[in-house]
Structure 1
């Protein structure tokens, strides 16, 4: 399971790099617009995940700023890591 989480985090890091790189070096034609839309969607989804964690587990799980940033960038892969802190 730990290998899966690490692989997922590396994949998300590559996706974020690709999408943010498109802001500075846009792809030609309609591809840039598509990647702007993907960047917006992934940002909204990860903000929703972060708000869901704050709303559902605020009294049981205290997130540091570093944890919150990792949830934003890595999404469900960081949430799986935090699950261990929630059950103990």
Structure 2
């Protein structure tokens, strides 16, 4: 699953790059407004995911500051990366 996490991170980096490039160099026509709306929707969804993950798994997982940022930037892909680095628990 590590390869899929890295591919997801690359994909999200490209999406964020396009959305933030719109702020620096506005796209012509209605593209600026569309990409601005998409930027706010993506940020809102990732913040909602962060709220859900911290609420549900806040006491079960040891969180670091980087984990919060990973979910804000990469969403579910960041969550998968956090789960990968957690030690496995025995189910005996």
Q: Same fold (TM over 0.5)?
A: yes
Rg larger for? 2
Using CA pairs under 8 Å that are at least 6 residues apart, name the structure with larger relative contact order, 1 or 2. 1
Measured against aligned partners, the alpha-carbon deviations of 1:43-84 in whole angstroms (never above 9, x if no partner) come to: 000001100111001111132111110111011111112224
Count of residues paired in the alignment:
88
Moved over 4 A (4+): none
User: TM-score scaled to structure 1, two decimals?
Assistant: 0.92
Residue-by-residue CA offset, 1:10-52 (whole Å, 9 max, x unaligned)? 0101111110110111000101100000001000000011001
In structure 2, the gaps of 5 or more residues are: none
- SS at 1:51's partner residue? helix
TM-score when normalising by structure 2? 0.88
Distance, in Å, in 2 between the alignment partners of 1:55 and 1:33 is 33
The equivalent of 1:66 in structure 2 is 66
CA distance in 2, matches of 1:63, 1:21: 31
Gaps of 5+ in 1: none
- For 1:40 and 1:12, the matched residues in 2 are separated by 15
